[in-house]
Structure formats: C-alpha cells, structure tokens
Amino acid sequence: MGILGTQRVKSAGKVSSVGVSERRSLQIVRMRLQTAVRGRRRRRCLRSSASVMSRLLKLVGFLAAGRGAARRIPVRSVCCSSRRRAQDREASSSLGKRWKDTADTVIIGGGCVGVSLAYHLAKSGLKDVVLLEKSELTAGSTWHAAGLTTYYHPGINLKKVHYDSIKLYETLEEETGQAIGFHQPGSVRIASTAARVDEMKYQMTRAHWHVTPQYFITPEKVQELFPLLNMDKVLAGLYTPGDGHIDPYSLTMALAAGARMYGAQIYNPAPVRALTPRSDGKWDVQTPHGTIQANRIVNTAGFWAREVGQMIGFDHPTIPVHHQYVVTATVPEVKALKKELAVIRDLEGSYYLRQERDGLLFGPYEKMEKMVLQDSWVRDGVPPGFGKELFESDLDRIMEHIEMAMEMVPVLKKANIINVVSGPITYTPDLLPMVGPHQGVPNYWTAIGFGYGVIHAGGIGKFLSDWIRNGEPPYDLIECDPNRYGKWTDVPFMCAKARESYGFNNVVGYPKEERFAGRPTSRRSGVYDLLKDKGSMGFHAGWEQPHWFYKPGDDIGYKPSFCRTNWFGPVGRECKLVMEKVGVIDLTPFGKFIVKGKDSLKLLDRLFANTMPKVGHTNISHMLTPSGKVYAEVTITQLTPGEFLLITGSGSELHDLRWIEAEAERGYDVEISNVTDQIGVLGIAGPNSRSVLQKLTDEDLSDSAFKFLQCKTVQLAGVPVRAIRISYTGELGWELYMEQENMVAVYRAMMEAGKDQGIDNFGTYAMASLRLEKGFRGWGAEMNCDTNPLEAGLDYFIKLNKPADFIGKKALKEIKAKGLKRKLSYLAVQTDEIDPEGNETIWHNGKVVGNTTSGAYSYSSQQSLAFGYLPVELNSVGQTVEVELLGKKYPATVIQEPLVLTEPTRTRLQKKANTKA
C-alpha cells in the first residue's frame, strides 16, 4: 500500500491536482492562488476552491490530470454537548465485544505507538492489557505520516530504539499475516558543505561501536544509490542500508492484529472521560462504556496527550506542528528505474525525498519563521471529532524547499503534484518524546511527543514493555524521560522551543550544542543577573549556568565547532585559576531534596548502596536498579538526626525524585520535599578558598575543625549558609547552600574578600576538565542504566556487606561472583586540534573494542584525556588502543588514574611525609 492507500484516500477526498514546472510560473500560481483564496471562511473545505485553482493553473499551462489529492479540512473549534452525547451512545453500541472492568495496564491512544506497546506487553506474557482508542486506530498523526524508517539517529540511546523498530518491522508481516508495505532501499544523508562533511565524520565516530552498519560514502556511491541527483554540489553522503519507509496505516493494523493475537483487548470507539487515582495506587479509567480499574495507565494519545494529562493535573509540553509533504504523479524517469531509489535527506535543503510507487514523495522542514504551530489546541484543546482530518496546505511556506529540491533532483521540475498533505505532528520543546513513568503520581506512564512516531513505535513499545515487566528500563534513555520537564516549562517556552526544533531539524549538529529560543525561563539563579553578560551561558533543566567567562580580548559568544574553538583558551585560564588561586562557580541547577521522618534512614538504606553518613557528614551514594545497574549518583548529607539533604545533577532532578518517591510509597513514614528552586548554590574552590571564606565567618575552617565531607551551618557576611566541604574540581573547596534571595550578598562578599587572593569566576567547562584530571566519574557518562558500579570503578562507594538489603544488592553479588567482562579505563589520547567528548569508538588491531564515555583537554598535563570502556584483557596500564575522532584514529594509552591527585589526597600524603620526616 502506498503512502495514501485506499483506507486514507477514502477519508481524504479530492481536489484538483497541481503540476510543478518552472519556478517562475509556479511562483505566479502561488501568488494568484493566495489572492483567490484570501478571505474565504476558515470553516469551508478547500474543495470549493478547486475550480479556482484549476483556472489559475490553466493560465500558465500546467494543469495536471492527477487524482486523489488529500483534502485540507479546517479545524472546528467547538462541539455541542448534544453531539457529544450522541457520539457516546454510538460508541457504547459499537464495541461488539465484552467489556473488561479490570486490567493490569490500560493504554490510552490507538496510534502506532499505543498498539506497539499493547503488542509487546501481550506478546511478553502480560495478557491483561486493554487499549482504548477514542475513535478509530491510526486517527491522529499516524494515518497521514510519511512513514520513513531509519537506523540513524544523531544521539546514542535512540539508535537502539530505531534498531529494534526496524528489526520488528522486518518480521511483523510474517508473524501476523498482515501486509505492512515495508520498503528497505536504504537512505543517504547528503553533504553539500564542508561543515556537513565534518558532521558526518563526527557521526561515524559515534556509530562504529553500535550494531547498525553505517557508511561514509563518496559522491559516486551517492549517485549510484540515487541516480536522479544533480551531483554538482554533492561532496559526500552518509549511507545507512536497511533504511526505507513503511505504510503507517498497515503497520498499525498489523501491530493491532498481533496484540489481539496474543491476548490484548482493543476497544474503539472508547474515549476516556476521566482518570481518577485510587488510594491503593491504581486508577479508575472512566469511559462511556463503563469504568476500568487499572494497575497502571499509559498515555499514548498523540496530540490529545495534553488533554489526557490535564485530567490528572499535568500540562504536558507537547504541541502540534503543521507538517507538509507532497506526492507526485508518475515520473517517467522513476518508472524506468530497475530498483527502488534510496531515501535521500538533503540537509541544506532541509527536506526528505523518497520514491512513492512510480512517483516521488517530498517533505520539507520549514524555517522557524515560516512554520506553523497549532497553538490554539494548547489553549482550547483539540476540536472534538478531529481525527483523520488535515489542515489547509500552504505551498508558499515550502516554496524555498521546493526550489532547492528541484535543483537537487531536476526531474521534479516536470513532475505533477497529486497530493499535498498538511497534518499535525506532535513536538516537545527538544523534539524528543516523553517516555516512561511520570513523577508526581504513581503508576502513570507516558509515551507521547513523537515527532517521528513511525520509526520510534516498534522500539519504544519494546522498551516500555520491558520496563513495565521488569521494574527498570532495559537500557538508559534519560534523554526521553518525561521528567526532564518541570513547572518552568510554560506555554511560551514550549512554543518557542518547538518552533526552533522544527526549524532546526536539519541544521549541523555540533558538540556542546546550544539553542537559545525561549531562554531564559522562570528558573533563574539568584546571581543570574550578575553573571549573564559576563560569559557564555548553558541551558540545564531550565536554568542558565555559565559555561565559561569572558575577558578583554577574548573571542566571545557561542561559536560551535567540531574542533577546539573560542572557549578553549579561556577554559584553560579558569582551570589555572582554580588550581593556583580561587574560583567561584554557580551550582544552583543541582537537584535538591530534603528527606526526613521516622523511616528516613530505613528508606535511604534501602535505596542506596553506600552506608548513610552520620549527622554533619556527607558522602557519595548510588541508587541501583534491581539488576545492579547505576540508576543515579547522589550526594547525601545528614543535617540533623533523620533529616537528609540529597543533591543530584540538574538533568536528573525529577528522574531521581520519581525513583525515591516510588520506593517511599511502599509504606515508609517519610516526608520528601523538592527544594531545588528555593535553594541557591555557590561553589568556591582553589588553594586560597579557605582564606577567602575565613574573612567572612567566625567559624574555624581549618583542616582539623572542618574536615573533608563535613557539613556545618555558618554565617557568611551575616547570611546563614549550609557549607559542605566538597568540590567537584577535586581542589580545596566548599559548596554553599542558601536561600536564593541571599545569593547576591554572599557572592559579592566573597568576591570582595578575595580581591587580594586573585578570585574570579569559572564555569562548567573548566569543572569538567578538572574533574576528569582527578578521575571523577560522571553520572550519565561513566555510569548509567547501561553500566554496573563494579565495571565503572565505583567499588569504594558500594557496601555489599552493609546490613540493609539495598536494591540491586543480590544482583551485584552475582555480577561480582561471575567476574567482569569490561572495565572503565583511563586514557591519554594523542590528538591535535580536537579532543574527545564521549561516545567515540575505540579500536584495537583494526577491530572495535569499546567506546569512550567522556573526554576533555587536561590543561595541567597538556594532553587529551578520556574515560572509556574496554574488555578486561585490554584494561591494564600501558595498553595501547586508538580513539576515533572526526574520521581519524588517534593513539591512546591506558594510564594510571588519577592524573592529578585531589587536594584531600595531596594533603594526606603530605602529612604522612611530614610525620616520617
């Protein structure tokens, strides 16, 4: 079945077809068409303007004889209550099957993602699964999708989702007996600029350690795969065999057939009217047919996801975007080909193009100033009854892309358009979906916000099914965690970022990428106004945090590159500052929780693998999954008996809080508070940091009075501050926790007191370099849900002998008994003007043996450093390997860690030396 198969053409209706020929003529048609249509009532279907369009096209001689064009149906804004009652009566009588009153899992939404989850849950043995679809399967974004499938993803973890999807689609037709129209001609991403060539080399370094084949190819190979290209501007290509396209309607029906085959129940039409949480953690799901009591609910409702979330108090940051694509009639040059064309993605033209039967399908991503958001749906809700309708198309918005496509694929100049499809696809602010359990209420899961639902559907269904059944994610996918957004994600921010993400779909993806739309949010550190113009700011979970600071003569601003760029020198200056003098850093974005109550110690002993610190002390602790993977790293301080302060990274704030709350709901008498927004944090580090702080307090800050990993409440310049002697740079330092409104006073007092000590600001780039020199692991890099703490070298923090049966303890003992297959290695890399950053491929004797996890330049030793996972047989100090960076393999050597000793270690060794002397 083609992209507009019979099921959808029946719903879509017809208008006269449009022929695409010479650019100037097309522009004349466009302008005349705009004039003719302007002023027509928005509620009228464009079918009435077809004759006008035909007359205009005849004027310039390109009336085409196509047929079956997509109907552009305007959106209705209201629906009367009597119509809704009639719809409910109709729905109640149309199920034709027995209604279930209970279910283990209720899935809300019958697009490709929802039916994939039902299929995977049922196939894995969880038979008590119900899917509720408000109208009919595929209604929403699925039915009009272009259906592209690709192994490629610029990130790391979503490559696994794409892989699982395609592998499922390759066998689904045989399994279910349902044709799915799956084509796998491969795909090519075209590079026509030098920056694109570097981007492809960059992506190749991150692909070799994955199972999916991917090739950097010459222009000659590009032309072989797509012989209709104008090769004048083609410099190279990124080729992924096995890519292609699938019919979304048929795919969804096949998954639904499989779900039913394995025992899942699918009810439609069955709109959800209310969601009510029960005291036992279950849900009452109310529909016109009755109420289902469910152990958990999963929101897979597509562009209705916000409305489902609002039933329980969530405003999910999803918004529909108008996406257009064009289908041509038969193109003789395409019909004459002996094999199907590869899918191409012209990145500079910002469009995809593939073969559709004997014609072509072309889909552009418009620039952010032209693209259209359906923001009225955010404000007023999706119009009742909207499902398989489309928006009015607007060729004016995509004209620039059409012209670039005709330049790249000249046969398009003579092709006739038979369909122009403009439908809603759902975007989140960062274009990544929201997948997993949601913080704030128990047993509420989401799989929403899919800008690319067809390629994600199969893999996400498997991912969520495994998580639901096993109690932990099968692999790390935190970039899609629904809890990466919070109350700071308001509608203006969401709209600005969705517009930016759509318009930037095919921009060059650089390391350390920053995007600036919608910033700053309401999340602002108490010293933000003091620092915002002094350096380059980064975005961290809604916060603005300095990456590096400017000095006179610096090349300032955000200037991304695949090699060392304008921040390289200033970051070295900041590292020297911290190593030799004293620096101040804003650490406010840390996630901060207070856990207290009768069972607080019992809860934390269950959650964390380390022993809990005594009152006034701090330690580093890790939460593990049941299978022994590292779910989180948290700094824990016991403030008073039974009252604990927990600190985690900005990107994992609600991710970690949800895990803690889920365990607490098992019967612990505790109170958990998220104080992230209320508490500001300043870090001060360097050999002169003690003398600076001592000027501001009467508290004795000497080594004997204020030891490493101790916490005290002190007065700094008259402001109450919780000071913890710890520093993520590894140098002498303190973290200072205070009310946000007191940050300016403390910051100014420190800067004044440190004038004669050489005090200055430093940012997160310098902290990253310094932590790597000291051998500090980072969560999300060296450790995550893909790694266990033993292979990550976290043995010191894991207390297998502590009495408490912490989560993952049994699994970790088994892992230790079996022995490790790989270990985290510390690498010195011989590079030139490029440094590792993580996720690069590691080679040995011409074979892929591992991957880096993070990297940076060490200004202390004047060399590049990286952490990376290697087989245990290649883990010994002195072992040589190669790290691939931007298409070149650089020599690397396993070295003893750390490269630079931490300040507490240096102090301890010095004391020992003095004692012996």
Tens digits of per-residue pLDDT, 536-547? 999 999 999 999
Q: Which two tokens stand for residue 202?
A: 């960059």
Please state, for a pLDDT cut of 70, what percent of the chain lies above it. 90
User: How many other CB atoms sit within 10 Å of the CB of residue 369?
Assistant: 8
| Secondary structure of residue 6 in the 3-state scheme | helix
> Which of 483, 481, 107 shows the shortest CA–CA distance to 305?
107
Longest dimension (CA), the chain: 101
More confident of the two residues 337 and 57: 337
Q: Is residue 337 predicted with pLDDT exceeding 80? A: yes
Q: Please report the pLDDT score of residue 98 as a whole number.
A: 86
Residues with Cβ < 8 Å from 359, sequence gap 6 or more?
Answer: 327, 328, 329, 330, 331, 334, 415, 418
pLDDT tens-digit map of 886-896? 999 999 999 99
Of 179-188, 476-485, 898-907, which gets the smallest average pLDDT?
898-907
Distance (Å, whole) CA 459 – CA 455: 8
Q: Is residue 198 predicted with pLDDT exceeding 90? A: yes
Q: Is residue 29 predicted with pLDDT exceeding 90? A: no
Q: Please report the pLDDT score of residue 96 as a whole number.
A: 72
Residues with Cβ < 8 Å from 175, sequence gap 6 or more?
Answer: 258
| Secondary structure of residue 1 in the 3-state scheme | coil
Q: Please report the pLDDT score of residue 85 as a whole number.
A: 47
- Bridge partners, residue 869, by sequence: 824, 851
> Which of 154, 454, 184 shows the shortest CA–CA distance to 342?
184
What are the DSSP E strand ranges found in 649-749? 671-674, 679-685, 711-716, 719-724, 733-739
Q: To the nearest whole number, what is the mean pLDDT of the chain?
A: 90
Mean pLDDT of 425-441: 97
> Which of 157, 137, 138, 161 shows the shortest CA–CA distance to 149?
161
Mean pLDDT of 74-92: 41
Residues with Cβ < 8 Å from 391, sequence gap 6 or more?
Answer: 72, 73, 74, 75, 322, 372, 374, 422, 423, 424
Q: Is residue 173 predicted with pLDDT exceeding 70? A: yes
pLDDT tens-digit map of 687-719? 999 999 999 999 999 999 999 999 999 999 899
Beta carbons of 351 and 405 less than 8 angstroms apart: yes
What b/e string do you get for 331-348 counting C-beta neighbours within 10 Å, with b at 16 or more?
Answer: beebeeeeebbbbbbbbb
Mean pLDDT of 605-620: 98
Residues with Cβ < 8 Å from 285, sequence gap 6 or more?
Answer: 106, 108, 132, 272, 274, 275, 291, 292, 293, 294, 297
Q: Please report the pLDDT score of residue 14 as a whole number.
A: 29
Q: Is residue 28 predicted with pLDDT exceeding 70? A: no
Confidence band, pLDDT 50/70/90 cuts, at residue 911: confident
pTM of the model: 0.90
pLDDT tens-digit map of 261-295? 999 999 999 999 999 999 999 999 999 999 999 99
Kindly state the helix (H) or strand (E) to which residue 906 belongs, with its residue range.
helix 903-916
Q: Is residue 35 predicted with pLDDT exceeding 80? A: no
- Bridge partners, residue 292, by sequence: 285
Convert 112-172 into a string of H (helix), E (strand) and C (coil).
Answer: HHHHHHHHHHHHCCCCCEEEECCCCCCCCCCCCCCCEECCCCCCCCHHHHHHHHHHHHHHH
Q: Which two tokens stand for residue 531?
A: 């620092």
Radius of gyration of the chain (CA): 29
Q: Is residue 89 predicted with pLDDT exceeding 90? A: no
Confidence band, pLDDT 50/70/90 cuts, at residue 94: low
Q: Is the peptide bond prior to 520 cis by the omega test (within 30 degrees of 0)?
A: yes
Q: Is residue 432 predicted with pLDDT exceeding 60? A: yes
pLDDT tens-digit map of 834-867? 999 999 999 999 999 999 999 999 999 999 999 9
Cα–Cα–Cα angle for 105, 108, 114, rounded to 5 degrees: 85
Q: Please report the pLDDT score of residue 249 as a whole number.
A: 96
pLDDT tens-digit map of 97-109? 889 999 999 999 9
| Secondary structure of residue 659 in the 3-state scheme | helix
Of 47-61, 618-632, 642-656, which gets the smallest average pLDDT?
47-61
Mean pLDDT of 720-736: 97
Distance (Å, whole) CA 280 – CA 284: 11
Confidence band, pLDDT 50/70/90 cuts, at residue 127: confident
Identity of the amino acid at 262: Y
Distance (Å, whole) CA 252 – CA 384: 23
Q: Which two tokens stand for residue 307?
A: 């409305």
Q: Please report the pLDDT score of residue 867 as a whole number.
A: 98
More confident of the two residues 913 and 721: 721
Confidence band, pLDDT 50/70/90 cuts, at residue 50: very low
pLDDT tens-digit map of 512-536? 999 999 999 999 999 999 999 999 9
What b/e string do you get for 270-282 counting C-beta neighbours within 10 Å, with b at 16 or more?
Answer: bbbeebebeeeeb
